Amino acid sequence: MVVTGAAVVPGSSVKPCPLRAPLVVTIVGLPCRGKSLASHKVARHLSWRGESAKVFTVEENATNETLREISLFFKEGNNVAIIDGMHLTRASRQTVATFCADSVFHQLLIEFTCNEKCLEENITDTVRFYRNLDQSTDWECRFREGNERHTPAFEPCAPTEGPLITVNNSEDPMFHSVTARGVRGSTQTAILGVLASPVIRQQTFYFSRHGESEYNVLGRIGGDADLSPRGMKYAERLARQLGGPGSAPDSPRPKVIWTSELRRTIHTVQNIPGPRAAIKDLNEINAGICEGLTYEEIQERFPQEFAWRDQDKFKYRYPHGESYLDLLQRVDSVVQALLTNTDVLVVSHQAVLRCIMAYFKGVKPDDVPYINVPLHTLLVVRSYGYDFVVETVPLKVECVDTYRIQPKNCSTTRTTADALVTVPAHFDAPLSQQMSTIS
């Protein structure tokens, strides 16, 4: 049975659209209404969640060439095309509507408006961005002229044109508003959710794993161990970097600090000034029956599980525990909350930070479990136009490496040596004990 996504009038020639048919999103609105920032935010979010979305930027209207590119994009197995341009007239939008009806694609219109204050802020921000790239153009004049030229042509979307989301953009959440009509299915609902909160133009976030823990030293996973002596040293170094004791007067000071509920993250931020919250969704991946074990012990006790995880680390779920797929869903609310803020410091764990960094780096789900997020390293993420730039700042406090790359042999019949070949080095006893044995 084909589940259809649109009501079909009996006797009409409209073909029913299967629920999982590709979606074409047409962005409508005058220049500098926040269309591009929002389009890219939607594409980033959908791709992060496992859909394959892409923004197709057009000058004013989608041409036949654009529509051909979109058809090709869908033939390659992708499913959401966002046409970011102006599409100011009903006639230009009709071309896309006809293309969608003929090809049996879903279509969604998103119309952006904003008040005078927001428009001025958008112009200032866009001019600043483009001026950095090219100083020879009078960007301000160009945007203002474009705005005046296009305003008389603008025909707002009519209720009969198709499913429609209207966004009245503002950075202030109390003035930002969204209405929806005819929206259906999980992808369109997800888009509505992303558009519901304002896009903040300039954002900086700070991310760090906790300082090295007693479990990291021993190569054990999960648990709620406290910091090792080197982990405590990292906590002091991080505080010096972020407005705590010994920091430079101009050092950045996070407005708010989010940690997991586990001791090692809470103790890592204890010397950093600022309001803080311990958030359960930032707790490390739950390794179920493998909690507290080393990778060597997992191989010894559950060799099949260890191999299955290596075969598909993203989808593999520890018995009685979680997968990276579960984790990605768990941290969605954290990422959405981050995006309505700026100057937030997040101190969490290897797997959780991989999922969060995947959003900012635009990494595909299958590659998320192999993103390298080393211990004792501060990651600074800054918005750059509709993109983000990540700066990696190693704070130079010695620690173990916990990064295990995928081994070549992932078969369930592999030898123990093959299974353990990429396990990072660790100690067999806590560092404090080793010191006392040596002295």
**Binding-site entries for substrate:** 209-216, 264
Q: Nearer to ligand F6P by C-beta: 222 or 231?
A: 222
| From 210, 267, 349, 376, active-site residue | 210
Out of 402, 414, 419, 420, the only residue in the binding site for ligand F6P (CB under 6 A) is: 402
Q: Nearer to ligand F6P by C-beta: 138 or 401?
A: 401
Report the number of secondary-structure helices (H) and strands (E) in the chain.
15, 12
Q: Nearer to ligand F6P by C-beta: 268 or 402?
A: 402
Closest CA to 340 of 101, 185, 191, 176: 176
> Cβ(209)–Cβ(356) under 8 Å?
no
Size of the site for ligand F6P (CB under 6 A): 12
Q: Nearer to ligand F6P by C-beta: 153 or 405?
A: 405
Which value, to the nearest 10 degrees, does the dihedral of the CA atoms of residues 327, 328, 330, 332 take?
Answer: 160
CB of 81 to ligand F6P, least distance (A): 33
Identify which range of 31-39, 84-92, 246-254, 348-356 contacts ligand F6P by CB under 6 A.
Answer: 348-356
Interface with ligand F6P, residue 79, by CB under 6 A: no
349 is catalytic: no
Q: Nearer to ligand F6P by C-beta: 201 or 210?
A: 210
Interface with ligand F6P, residue 420, by CB under 6 A: no
Identify which range of 146-154, 155-163, 328-336, 347-355 contacts ligand F6P by CB under 6 A.
Answer: 347-355
Identify which range of 6-14, 129-137, 282-290, 357-365 contacts ligand F6P by CB under 6 A.
Answer: 282-290
Out of 66, 271, 350, 383, the only residue in the binding site for ligand F6P (CB under 6 A) is: 350
Taking CB under 6 A as the criterion, which residues in 364-383 touch ligand F6P?
369
Q: Facing residues of 392 across strands?
A: 379
For the beta sheet containing 80-84, the strands, ordered from the edge strand earlier in sequence to the opposite edge, are 53-57, 80-84, 23-28, 106-114, 164-169, 177-181
Interface with ligand F6P, residue 268, by CB under 6 A: no
Interface with ligand F6P, residue 222, by CB under 6 A: yes
Out of 404, 410, 421, 423, the only residue in the binding site for ligand F6P (CB under 6 A) is: 404
Angle CA 422–425–426, to nearest 5: 140
Length of the chain: 439
Quote the CA–CA distance of 425 and 294 in Å, as a whole number: 11
Angle CA 361–363–368, to nearest 5: 115
Which tokens is 348 given?
């969490």
Quote the CA–CA distance of 84 and 56 in Å, as a whole number: 6
Please, where are the H alpha helices in 17-171? Answer: 35-48, 64-75, 90-103, 116-133, 139-150
Quote the CA–CA distance of 436 and 439 in Å, as a whole number: 5
Per-residue x/- mask for ligand F6P, residues 165 to 204, rule CB under 6 A? Answer: ----------------------------------------
| Biggest CA pair distance of the chain | 90
Identify which range of 61-69, 214-222, 226-234, 268-276 contacts ligand F6P by CB under 6 A.
Answer: 214-222
In Å, how far are 104, 312, 401 from 323, measured between CA atoms? 35, 10, 22
CB of 402 to ligand F6P, least distance (A): 4
Out of 32, 46, 221, 346, the only residue in the binding site for ligand F6P (CB under 6 A) is: 221
CB of 157 to ligand F6P, least distance (A): 45
Closest CA to 258 of 277, 280, 282: 277
Which tokens is 78 given?
């992708």
CB atoms within 10 A of CB 183: 14
| From 161, 284, 305, 322, active-site residue | 284
Give contact residues for ligand F6P (rule: CB under 6 A): 216, 221-222, 284-285, 287, 349-351, 369, 402, 404
Which residues are tagged catalytic?
A: 210, 284
